[in-house]
Amino acid sequence: MTTPSEDSRFASSSLTRHLARGAIGLGALIGAFALIPAFGPVSLLLLPLGVLALRGCPTCWAIGLAQTLSRGRLRRDCDDGRCGLTVADRSRG
């Protein structure tokens, strides 16, 4: 069984923060290649910023977006060797 921190290692603390990271990361990746005609290979220095903001790659960011959106809404329960997702009870806690 995994711990909650392992389940949501790509998630952000808020949707706004996650979308901001995505805008910075994708903007830096696109800018790194789009600015090559104007600034030459120096523009590729934006690549590490983009990768850092996206925490690895655009796919990692997309997984984190799904985790951020579902945080607190879905709960994984395993009973008798069968696991499934259920909607979390929001009236508690």
Residue 24 is predicted with a pLDDT of 96
**88 with 74: CB under 8 angstroms?**
yes
Distance CA 75, CA 61 (A): 21
The pTM assigned to this predicted structure is: 0.68
| 14's tokens | 């808020």
Distance CA 35, CA 28 (A): 10
Q: Write the pLDDT tens digit of every residue in 16-72.
A: 999 999 999 999 999 999 999 999 999 999 999 999 999 888 998 998 898 888 776
Residue 67 is predicted with a pLDDT of 86
